A and B are shown apart, each in its own frame.
Chain A
Amino acid sequence: MIELTELTKRYGDKTAVDHLTVTVRSGTVTGFLGPNGSGKSTTLRMILGLNAPASGAVTIDGRPFAALPRGLRHVGALLDAQDIHGGRSAVAHLKSLAVSNRIPLRRVGEVLEEVGLAEAGRKRIGGYSLGMKQRLGIAGALLGDPPVLLFDEPLNGLDPEGVRWVREMLQRLAREGRTVFVSSHLMSEMEHTAERLVVIGRGKLIADETVVDFARRGSQATVLVRAPEADALTAVLTADGASVGPAADGGLSVVGLTAARIGELAWHNNIMLAELATQNASLEKAFMELTADAVEYAAGETR
């Protein structure tokens, strides 16, 4: 469990993290979302005691991390895949970490095997692709078999196979009862991975709830319907309380009813449907709407 209490960080007069109070629970994957520059990485660094907060406190399982003599058995962290010296091999890098925490050296081979780097382990890290470095960073985080795991943008640079692998790994780690805290600036990366979401913008907390609750916050889901008798269907749906607008290619865009209810109404009214699909962008939309005021570096912004 990670507890942030009124956590604040300032760089000069800029407040990077602003009185953040959040509890990250064990046993679930918690997504940490926010636009670029919203303070996610700074928060993660403060959790690990790498950056000192201006005020507030953060504890991991009840203790400040910086007070621990050794960290790997308590928290595994992948902050930035590039946070590594390129001149060493993956094996030497992981060995140096393992010996510092008295972790048996066989773990080095085990975690390399687990992340799929067993063969590249002896090569210089400088020659690795970003995806391989992400895998190595994850290997380092798993080394001490810790109950708490922090990952900063772990999906960056991974191919679709890698993304699926990381998702399954995160969910498995959470199922084992661990605390898994994963940051991302893309909602789409988190919606199939995380169960809970912590959303921040400009360092302030915007949401701390389950993915399901978060999705409800945004505009309601839109359902796309296509039917030969469009006018008749429009009348039926409007009568049931939906607002119906035109969609591309003569389809209808329906807000206010679920796809199941629309299908039911069409059946009862003998209207044939050619297509019925829920637009699956509600979570992304909720994220965009909620963080719109808090985007630090928007494109095309007039200054």
Chain B
Amino acid sequence: MSALTSTTSTNPVYARVPSEPRPRFRDLCRMEWIKVASLRSTWLVLLAAALATVFINLNGVHSDLQYLDRDLAHPVQTMPDGHVWHFVYDPLRRALSEIAVQLMMLGGAAIGALTMFGEFSTGQIRTTFAAVPRRDGVVAAKITVLCAITTTLALVVTLISFLGGQAMVADRHVGLSITDPDAQIAIAAYTLVVPVSALIGMLFGALIRNATASIVGVVAFLFLIPAFFGGDKYRWVAEIRHLFPGNAESNLAEWPHNPYMDPGKWPTSHLHSWLVLAGWVVVSIGAALFVVKKRDA
């Protein structure tokens, strides 16, 4: 006992530290959760995107109703050119519309970018890394919280859109059940593209570190650049197009039994689209970890 006392008294500095509790990953997740939850802007962006998405989808189905009854009354029509037209209602095109999911993708990407540029542009990141010197833990916690929030919100939005849309057309017997495999694939893709976009946004935020430039960058990447790869003239153009997360989502969420949907000259498989989404997850996480660890804070 006396030996112990004498060693601690020669170095009083060390005496203070040993009672440190074991570090846990969930503490870092709690830190990131408090950071996200205490910023009003985060919730405003997410809520606005979610409400707008649900509104667009339900309103889309609602405006279908007036044509639906007319077309159901005359399901087979002969066109003036002699072509026979069979009416088929696509139960997913409006309920899980492409334009609405792009809003959710935008919201997710903005939040993802914000988790990084919000720290780097303010200098907060130095305070964070002084508290948690091991940077990969911080990035991992950010990813966990970001994916949890965006996936949950996207799933709620997707389910409301899907179930609400199908309920509106249920008495016309053209809706899809949630037990339908096509519906489940669509719901999964419509949900998961949002956290994927959020992770891509996070990568842009970590790379660029500036608010405006990060947002412009990720918007250009998700929505503008894919537009340059339209058309069916060249196969390689179509193949590049299939690599963007938005295109992967629409390929998966499309109702495969719509006879009037043109898949294009070079369609892609569901597996390919899932791999594209998974690929962006891996690339975003890997690259974000790399740049955050390598560069000076």
Contact = CB atoms under 8 A, between A and B. Distances in A.
Given A1-B13, A71-B132, A80-B126, A95 B34 contact: yes
Interface string A101-130: 110000000000000000000000000000
Interface of B: 12-14, 16-17, 20-21, 23-24, 27-28, 30-32, 34-35, 38-41, 118-119, 122-124, 126-127, 129-134, 137, 296-297
B133 A83 contact: no
B13 A96 contact: no
A216 interface: no
B122 A50 contact: no
Interface in A75-96: 75, 77, 79-80, 82-89, 92-93, 95-96
Among all A-B residue pairs, the 7 with the closest Cβ atoms: A83-B123, A92-B38, A100-B31, A69-B23, A96-B34, A51-B296, A50-B297
A85 B13 contact: no
A193 interface: no
- Report whether over half of chain B's contact residues are helix, strand or loop; otherwise say mixed: helix
A221 to B, nearest CB: 36
A274 interface: no
A101 to B, nearest CB: 6
Contact of B119 (A73, A85, A86): A85
A25 to B, nearest CB: 10
A85 B121 CA distance: 9
B31 A97 contact: yes
Contacts of A146: 16
Contacts of B296: 45, 50-52
Contact of B133 (A69, A85, A102, A140): A69
A100 B129 contact: no
- Report whether over half of chain A's contact residues are helix, strand or loop; otherwise say mixed: loop
A97 B127 contact: yes
Contacts of B34: 92, 95-96, 99
Contacts of B129: 48-50
Contacts of A28: none
B17 A69 contact: no
Contacts of B17: 61, 73-74, 147
Interface in A129-154: 140, 145-148
Given A1-B13, A61-B13, A88 B35 contact: yes
Contacts of B134: 66-69
Contact of A177 (B13, B24, B38): B13
B297 A51 contact: yes
Nearest to A87: B39
Contacts of A88: 35, 38-39
Nearest to B30: A99
B38 A96 contact: yes
A95 B27 CA distance: 11
Contacts of B119: 85
A196 interface: no
